[in-house]
């Protein structure tokens, strides 16, 4: 693929924001069939609950993450999961970044 100037890829605005990129990058490291509890994700990302909620909602609106409320015994639990669509969008985003750094080079 040879990209010429002006033909550079668009960066997905949902992912292309520091906090949401961190969320998606972290979730992408988990197995596709896994769901992580909200407080654990918060601990890994070192974000406040309010902040993480805001960004998760934006990612959820875009269909990139799925947030499910469930119960563990009597305590309610919120589980977060990167959807196939979110995983694909993240891969596209990473490919776009690589193309921006080295336009015209094949990216793997």
Positive or negative, the CA dihedral 46, 47, 48, 49 is negative
Alpha carbons 77 and 39: distance in angstroms, whole number: 9
Alpha carbons 45 and 26: distance in angstroms, whole number: 8
Q: Tell which one of 6, 31, 69, 75 touches other proteins (CB under 8 A).
A: 31
1 binds other proteins (CB under 8 A): no
Q: What angle do CA 38, 77, 72 make, to 5 degrees?
A: 140
98 binds other proteins (CB under 8 A): yes
Minimum CB distance to other proteins, residue 77 (Å):
8
67 binds other proteins (CB under 8 A): no
Q: Using CB under 8 A, which residues numbered 10 to 29 contact other proteins?
A: 11, 16-22, 25-26, 28-29
Token pair of 4 as six digits:
């010429």
32 binds other proteins (CB under 8 A): yes
What values do phi and psi take at 31, rounded to 5?
A: -60, 145
Residues in touch with other proteins (CB under 8 A): 11, 16-22, 25-26, 28-37, 39-40, 43-45, 48, 50-51, 54-55, 79, 81, 94, 97-98, 100-101
């Amino acid at each position: 693929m040879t990209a010429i100037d002006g033909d550079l890829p668009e960066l997905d605005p949902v992912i292309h924001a520091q906090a949401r990129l961190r969320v998606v990058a972290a979730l992408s490291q988990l197995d596709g069939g896994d769901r992580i509890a909200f407080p654990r994700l918060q601990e890994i990302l070192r974000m406040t609950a309010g902040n993480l909620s805001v960004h998760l909602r934006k990612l959820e609106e875009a269909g990139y993450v799925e947030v499910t409320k469930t119960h563990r015994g009597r305590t309610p639990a919120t589980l977060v999961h990167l959807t196939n669509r979110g995983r694909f969008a993240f891969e596209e985003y990473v490919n776009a970044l690589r193309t921006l750094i080295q336009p015209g080079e094949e990216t793997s």
